Amino acid sequence: MQKFPNSLNTTEIKKAPLSGMTIPEIAEKLNSLNPEKKIPLYRSKQLFSLIKNGAANFKEMSILPGELAEELERYAVVRGSNVNKKHIAADGTIKLVLELSDGILIETVLLASASGGGSSSLKKEHYTACLSTQAGCPMGCVFCKTGSMGFLRNLEASEIVEQFLFLNDELHKISKDNRISHVVVMGMGEPLLNLGALRKAMEILCDSAGFRLSKRKITVSTAGICDGIIDMAENGPETELAVSIPSAREELRSRLMPGTAQYPLPQLKRNLSLFQKNHKRQITIETVLLGNINTDPEDAHALIDFCRNLDTVINLIPWNPVKDLFFEGKTLQQPEPEEIKNFIRMLKAGGITVTQRYRRGRGISGACGQLGAQ
């Protein structure tokens, strides 16, 4: 089980991490070091580019004047977190356990997809970073290990960006010719409860002077935080949106996802309609299938009804096993292959577009719902 310290260190971090700063913020930081000597803007752009190109400390930034590098060393750091552990799965998935500046541990995952979904070797074309936004999670979803750990705190923008940086470091150890092209914000925590830090992290990752990620290749996954969906609809980021709905039967959903009780399904559907109207994007409905719990015809028909008049695709996720997770006193079980086939058949008969999540990283507790299990 992932270990967290008993209490948080609330001492203010004196050295600000540059990883979570935009170019204007870096410029402000540089000029605050010596107010009498204005530093040209191009130095801030250089720093931003160096950080995004993998420089982890100021010693690696030989392009900077020595005096400036020394001054930065006293008042800032490039990254505020570090790699505590690394796990590599047989399918090539890499999971990093990162230690934050206050000693808290979080997890982030690098996924690789083969063209056509064939081989699972990491040396393929399509690389995805799975990022966390919180340490622990307040939502309490019964099928998710992170949800069973409780909530510690929101992550800073720098701590979200640094997950990407560390994963990118790992990819370059394998191949410098490849890059991470996609991001899924589906790691530890509920992203829409930390939307400010997430929005800033996405701004940094999409900056043309940095990684130049496309917002259309970023997917933010939520348990259904309605006010957060409205905030995204009106203020961005203009990414893809995925919503976890293990059951469209209200009573069962609230038992499986206690944190969503204040966000009933009719309100959620109205807010998704607004998001879709503003962003013109198809919405992914993520449904974790639990053996003998949410796979019967009533569940299928409820999902079909919920998706009516929305442009959606349902992504089915057969539950990834985690030790000691229970639902109302009974140990959770994976759905049987026939359960999955029947559920897909019922959804398709109702006119629903259905995909099934390919399981990666299960051997290192890096798959959906497993983060924090090691």
Strands 182-185 and 126-130, bridge-based pairing: parallel
Using pLDDT thresholds of 50, 70 and 90, give the confidence band for residue 36.
confident
Give percent above pLDDT 70 in the chain: 93
Residue 121 has pLDDT above 70, yes or no: no
What residues act catalytically? 107, 368
- At residue 374, the pLDDT reads 66
What's residue 1's pLDDT?
35
Checking if the pLDDT of 142 tops 90, the result is yes
Predicted local confidence at residue 14, as pLDDT: 65
In this structure, of 97-101, 143-147, 191-195, 360-364, the range with the lowest mean pLDDT score is 360-364
Q: Inform me whether the pLDDT recorded for 10 exceeds 70.
A: no
The answer to whether residue 11 scores a pLDDT higher than 60 is no
Rounded Cα distance between 286 and 320, Å, is 14
pLDDT at 355 (0 to 100): 96
Q: What is the mean pLDDT of residues 191-212?
A: 96
Q: Which residues contact 211 (CB under 8 A, 6 or more apart)?
A: 52, 164, 168, 179, 180, 205
Delineate the domains of the chain, giving CATH numbers in brackets. Answer: 16-77 (1.10.150), 82-364 (3.20.20.70)
Q: Which residues contact 317 (CB under 8 A, 6 or more apart)?
A: 286, 287, 288, 289, 356, 357, 368, 369
Summary mean pLDDT of the chain: 91
- The dihedral region occupied by 274, where left means phi > 0, alpha psi between -120 and 50, and beta the remainder, is alpha
Q: What is the average pLDDT across 152-177?
A: 95
